[in-house]
Amino acid sequence: MPATFLTTLERSRFGQIPNLEESDLQKGFFLTQTDIEFINAFHGSMNRLAVSMQLCLVRYYGFLEENWRGLLTQGMFEFVAPQLGLIVDVTSLNEYGKRKMSRLFHLQQILRYLDYRRWQPIIDEPIIEKWLIERGMEHDNERLLLDKLCQKIHQDKILRPAIGTLERIAGSIGERLNEETYKRLDFLWTEDMFKKLDALLDFDTVRKQTLHRWLCTAPNANTARVINQTIEKIVFLQEFNVDSWDLSMIPANCIFQSIRFFVNFGEKYLTKQFLKINFHQNLPI
């Protein structure tokens, strides 16, 4: 996986607030009596409105963009303000937060009230990477992993950092997945197995191709000749004791992805090498 994989448009969507239906407002922007008591402890109607909107955004979405005020809609104001006994509109927050210290203090109080905390790279990244490896063993699609990571952080009540930070973590997990796969299959890596794997890349003068290419050739008919060739391949693989390998610790998707990766890699490598042989020795590939 590349360290960054989102398009500019995709990245921007992670910071947007979708249009909310009435049911969404009821779910995410309804203030309990405890919420109202917390909010009313702040001085001034503008501060109370700002705190209430930030509280709802953090609790419902798990993140708070720097320009969060510009993402609010009139519908959100009309739903939240009456709960506080306020009559306001979208422009009511234009003067809010001119003092950075006030904004930081308000957010700190909101996070404490919601039992949230800020992202701490030194603590969180190792834990998240370990969690991602387990998810990646099941499905290594980087966009899916990023979505799951955002959900995980929200569930753990961690204020989501910049999406680029999480994109980098999800995008760089691929190498760790390969390492984890090799680790779980360490019972296979014997000297005898290495010799057998190396032999797959040797040119077979009887079959006029490498054993790797021979194994990768899929059956294309149900004739006796093709059936006998397939049986021959099965017998060949049994010599590797493939049928007795315990792969229970490797998810089925990971096995498929690994096979596809090595087949593609082998095809590219062998095609390049044996084109040279064919050119110099006129041997069929």
Backbone angles phi, psi at 258, to 5 degrees: -65, -45
Work out the percent of the chain whose per-residue pLDDT is above 70: 85
For 270-279, the pLDDT digits (tens) are 444 444 444 3
Q: Is 159 strand, coil or helix?
A: strand
Whole-angstrom distance, CA of residue 241 vs CA of residue 187: 12
For the cut 60, the answer to whether the pLDDT of residue 109 exceeds it is yes
Mean pLDDT confidence for 207-225:
86
Q: Is 252 strand, coil or helix?
A: helix
Count of C-beta atoms within a 10 Å radius of residue 87 = 11
User: Residue 88 contacts by C-beta under 8 Å, 6 or more apart in sequence?
Assistant: 45, 49, 77, 81
For 149-180, the pLDDT digits (tens) are 999 999 999 999 999 999 999 998 878 887 87
For 12-38, the pLDDT digits (tens) are 999 888 778 888 899 999 999 999 999
Least confident of 88-97, 120-129, 275-284: 275-284
Whole-angstrom distance, CA of residue 203 vs CA of residue 196: 13
For 118-139, the pLDDT digits (tens) are 999 999 999 999 999 988 888 8
pLDDT of residue 270: 45
- Could you tell me the pLDDT band of residue 280, with boundaries at 50, 70 and 90? very low
Backbone angles phi, psi at 32, to 5 degrees: -75, 170
Global pTM reads 0.71
Work out the percent of the chain whose per-residue pLDDT is above 90: 41
